[in-house]
Amino acid sequence: MTDRLTIALAQINPTVGDLAGNAVRLRAARAAAAEGGADLVVAPELCISGYPPEDLVLKPDFVKGVAAVVGELAAETADGGPALLIGAPWRDDSQGGNGSGQPDDPEAATPLRGRVYNAALLLDGGQVQAVRYKHDLPNYGVFDEARVFAAGPLPGPISFRGVRLGVMVCEDMWTPDVTECLEESGAEILIVPNGSPFETDKLEERQQLAIQRITESGLPLIYVNQVGGQDELVFDGASFALDAGCRLRAHLPAFQEAVGLTHWERTDEGWTCRDGDLVEPLEGLDAIYSALMLGLRDYVGKSGFPGVVIGLSGGVDSALSAVIAADALGPEQVHCVMMPSPYTSDQSLEDAAALARLNGLRLDQIGIQPAMEAFEGMLRPVFDGLPADTTEENIQARARGIALMAISNKLGKMVLSTGNKSEMSVGYSTLYGDMCGGFNVLKDVYKTTVYRLCQWRNQQRPAAAQGFQGRTIPERIITRAPSAELKPDQTDQDSLPPYDELDDILACLIEREMSLAEIAKRGHALETVTRTWRMLENAEYKRRQAPPGVKITRRSFGRDRRYPIVNAFKSPL
């Protein structure tokens, strides 16, 4: 039995499916922890496979590959260095089944025997010393773990060098059952490996839940979260340790990899933690901007693109997208293209050029009038005698989309689309036009937040940013009335309510699922609320064809919100 224990919190940035690369990151974290005298290194949930692995878990070869890498890492712990507590999909052949909770296919050539669990594994002394399975599998929002994992039984503590560690995986902390079981069976320190995605105000929620579990059990708690971008999710790290009195003893930085040491001592009242590094958490616009940067950086980098190409319009959305891209990737990786039509104002041309100069971005100009004239001639036999309408406006947007995709094909850079959540909500966008692209960094950012982020970035430069210091977005871009400039004297407010009103209605409809009458009581005209709801419902088919983008709110478009495209339900007034 020991009276002192040094536990390292290793918040690493894994890549889903990169088993060897993820093991390299774990080895580096273990080496850093060893230099600090760590006894144990705690890594995030499913750090070997990357999180979330989704249907990769159903591939037998994938699960076998995970087991092989775990075996290699376990063997390395025979060197006398710190033990590893890691997360991995883990097959248990004693349980039966095929890893999905369903019976084996008797006709399968090589059925995967056993069930696959979301597991925490203790590697020490050259072996896998203990395995614990996640009990509470989340099946809401972006999570569908019940689809691929079997639920484990309520766990007991793991004995590590005379200390009983209560290991519970992520969601197991969000309800009291697992904590209660661990406390009743003699756990002394609670350890929670996590893959918890960023949302605004999520950090406070995590810490409050941790405090609830500590209050219920009287046990201190270590929370280790993944960091990095994976598809639409961003994991913010911000790992922490709390003592039995709910005092914060360690807090790791957000949105970056880190290894932090916590020093524990056994007392008459139980285990206590000495003060460690306490990094101030990021909040508000700082946290949102950092999430957008990290999500874009990892999506582009982990997908293997050399950079991005952006249609720069002179408007606020493309301006902010370009600045985030410069901060995330470096200005040299951002290629901007201005594509004027006969309706593009001189002001837009000037503002786009000014933004490119301020941020050191390449800017090319490709006029789309020849394409517009070509399409007019091509379609004249069919359109003869019909008045011009949004069809001609959409042709302009699609001509720009074709130009951007051609540049992407030729130069290899990914097209970054620039629509915001307000526009995507109500369908104020053009399929195969401004919606085309591989990723959309503003997909979950309401227009009012776009303006706030622009003002914030002009005053702040995030620590991880690779872009320039000082003003990056010309003030005129922020203050001018937004316009698609697809016809003379056009503004967004010709078709939409004012954005502050629209965004409040949309947040009530999307994040809160409020009724139309409830929203109207907030001071909105019922006619405006009803019209907004209809636009939101009618645009579902467009959103299904939109590129992925960074999730920052409680309910983003995509797996968070799964409405049918064909939908005849009419919301009661």
Determine how many CB atoms are found less than 10 A away from the CB of residue 208. 10
Residue 1, CA distances (Å) to 4, 80, 161, 185, 520 in order: 9, 17, 6, 18, 64
Q: Is 91 helix (H, G, I), strand (E, B) or coil?
A: strand
Catalytic residues: 45, 134, 170
Residues contacting residue 99 through CB under 8 Å, at least 6 positions apart: 57, 58, 60, 63, 91, 112, 114, 115, 116, 148, 150
Residues contacting residue 281 through CB under 8 Å, at least 6 positions apart: 203, 238, 251, 254, 287
**Residue 252 and residue 234: Cα distance in Å, rounded?**
16
Determine how many CB atoms are found less than 10 A away from the CB of residue 130. 19
Residue 206, CA distances (Å) to 155, 216, 467, 500 in order: 21, 16, 32, 30
β strands within 182-327, DSSP E = 189-194, 221-225, 227-230, 233-236, 240-242, 248-251, 258-267, 270-273, 308-311
Cis upstream peptide for 106 (omega within 30°): no
Starting at the edge strand found earlier in the chain, the sheet holding 248-251 runs 158-160, 163-167, 189-194, 221-225, 240-242, 248-251
Please, are residues 331 and 466 in contact by the beta-carbon 8 Å criterion? yes
Q: Is 62 helix (H, G, I), strand (E, B) or coil?
A: helix
Token pair recorded at residue 3: 């009276």
Please, are residues 302 and 234 in contact by the beta-carbon 8 Å criterion? no
**Residue 238 and residue 396: Cα distance in Å, rounded?**
44
Please, are residues 384 and 402 in contact by the beta-carbon 8 Å criterion? no
**Residue 107 and residue 341: Cα distance in Å, rounded?**
60
Token pair recorded at residue 451: 């303006």
**Residue 30 and residue 434: Cα distance in Å, rounded?**
46
State the residue for tokens 């060897």.
20
Of 267, 256, 268, the closest CA to residue 297 belongs to 256
What type of residue is 391?
T
User: Residue 58 belongs to what H/E stretch?
Assistant: none
Token pair recorded at residue 287: 């946290």
Degrees, nearest 5: CA angle 92-224-29: 90
Q: Is 77 helix (H, G, I), strand (E, B) or coil?
A: helix
